[in-house]
Amino acid sequence: MTLRVVVADDQALVRVGFCGIIAATPGFTVVGEAGNGAEAVEAARRTKPDVILMDVRMPVMDGIEATRRITESTDVRALILTTFDLDEYVFAALRAGASGFLLKDTLPADLLTAIRVVAAGDALLAPSVTRRLIGEFARTAPITGPAAGPARAAPRASDDSQPSVTRGKLQRVLTDRELEVLTMVARGMSNAEIAEELTISPATAKTHVAHLLTKLDARDRIQLVIIAYQSGLAGC
């Protein structure tokens, strides 16, 4: 299977570099380029790639808004690439529905791995973006976009500060084992680490995560993390 990629960056040389790396690698193809956020949205909707590499600071429309529009209207997964390792960009990218966040000094091999991971439905963050930041985002930012399935559909409390997905709602929707796996996902554990911790096979761990994604109508693991923290299932 060939992974289809769109590259969005306002610097032509950067786009050429990323496109060259991707196009030269078997199993990948570049199906579009964009020099600003508006072009990125149009390219994503027109070419329907598996992943769009999205710069943050672009003219006409920034990468965060472009990501929001793309993830709200398509199944395209966004991998944010930026030179700025700042918390607000991490938070904004996750809030907009991004499935990955990498710095532009990432090695080519790591970039290709990131595209594969994001295309497969997993979430990926730069090593410098710590699990603490994910937790802090999840505790302070409301869920946006597809996030909680049956739980999200329930009426919200009158106090807007209350999470839209409560721990009680999760307990009604998920099995005890799924709650356990969701807690581990919120701790940043991989399927292999979950399997080792629970003494199950990696395939079984992957199946549990797949069930979580389906039951909670979550786009990827990042949204599972957000749901776990906002519900209070994952502590500080």
Q: How far apart are CA 81 and CA 101, in angstroms?
A: 6
| 109 and 157 part of one domain | no
Alpha-carbon Rg for the chain, nearest whole angstrom, is 18
What would the pLDDT profile of 35-66 be if each residue is shown by its tens digit? 999 999 999 999 999 999 999 889 999 999 99
Domain assignment present for 134: no
pLDDT for the residue 115: 93
Domain assignment present for 52: yes
pLDDT for the residue 235: 58
| 114 and 19 part of one domain | yes
Is residue 115 within 8 Å of residue 79, measured between CB atoms? yes
Amino acid (1-letter code) at residue 150 = P
Q: Which of 13-22, 140-149, 221-230 has the lowest mean pLDDT?
A: 140-149
| 8 and 125 part of one domain | yes
CATH number at residue 37: 3.40.50.2300
Strands 51-55 and 100-103: unpaired
| 44 and 147 part of one domain | no
Amino acid (1-letter code) at residue 95 = R
What average pLDDT is seen over the chain? 80
Domain assignment present for 135: no
Last residue of a domain, which of 79, 105, 129? 129
| 107 and 9 part of one domain | yes
Q: Which residues constitute the domain of residue 58?
A: 3-129
pLDDT for the residue 18: 94
| 89 and 45 part of one domain | yes
What would the pLDDT profile of 96-151 be if each residue is shown by its tens digit? 888 888 888 888 998 998 899 888 877 666 544 545 555 555 555 554 433 333 33
More confident site: 182 or 191:
182
Number of structural domains found in the chain: 2
State how far Cα 59 lies from the chain centre: 23
| 173 and 221 part of one domain | yes
Segment 183-203 shows an average pLDDT of 86
Domain assignment present for 236: no
Domain assignment present for 176: yes
| 14 and 84 part of one domain | yes
pLDDT for the residue 217: 86
φ/ψ of 33, rounded to 5, equals -130, 155
Q: Which of 21-35, 110-124, 166-180 has the lowest mean pLDDT?
A: 110-124
Exposed e or buried b per residue across 44-71, where buried means at least 16 C-beta atoms within 10 angstroms of its C-beta: beeeebbbbbbbbebeebbbbbbbbbbb
- Confidence at 159, pLDDT banded by 50, 70, 90: very low
Q: How far apart are CA 222 and CA 203, in angstroms?
A: 20
DSSP letters for 75-141: --EEEEEES---HHHHHHHHHTT-SEEEETT--HHHHHHHHHHHHTT--EE-TTS-HHHHHHHHHHS
Q: Please, what's the largest Cα pairwise distance for the chain?
A: 54
| 111 and 191 part of one domain | no
CA distances (Å), origin 193, targets 49, 97, 188: 30, 25, 9
Last residue of a domain, which of 81, 107, 129? 129
Domain assignment present for 35: yes
Domain assignment present for 138: no
Phi-psi sector, 27: left (phi>0), alpha (psi -120 to 50), beta: left
